[in-house]
Amino acid sequence: MEISVSDFLKVYNPNVIDIRMPQKFNDNHIPGAVNINASMLLNNPEKYLNPSLTYYIYCQKGTSSRTLAQVLKVKGYNVYNIIGGYEAWILEL
């Protein structure tokens, strides 16, 4: 599932996950986001995600997070990819 930045701004759920490298995250990120490596989410989603909650994930351009969201959805998690990633977030503001 995917959500545009403008629609995300309307719901602005606190469960936002940035899957970029820590240095990118530390440079700037969506306020309230937590930084969790994509491979950690992929290999151990139960450690980071609650199946009863909704999560919004993003990367730099939205490509990696789209793929990860699809896999996590198949595993039973309610995850939305933020279309266009952090770059789309910056353009929307």
Q: How confident is the model at residue 9 (pLDDT cuts 50, 70, 90)?
A: confident
Annotated active-site residue 59? The verdict is yes
Residues 52-82 pLDDT 10s? 999 999 999 999 999 999 999 999 999 999 9
What pLDDT was estimated at residue 10? 84
CATH of the domain at 74: 3.40.250.10
Query: Which residues share a beta bridge with 2?
Result: 81
Of 3, 33, 41, 59, the catalytic one is 59
Higher pLDDT, 29 or 11: 29
Residue ranges making up the domain that contains 72:
2-92
Residues 18-49 pLDDT 10s? 999 999 999 999 999 999 999 999 999 999 99
Total domains, the chain: 1
What's the Cα-to-Cα distance from 53 to each of 13, 63, 77, rounded to whole Å?
10, 23, 8
Q: Would you say 68 and 41 are in contact if contact means Cβ atoms under 8 Å apart?
A: yes
What pLDDT was estimated at residue 62? 94
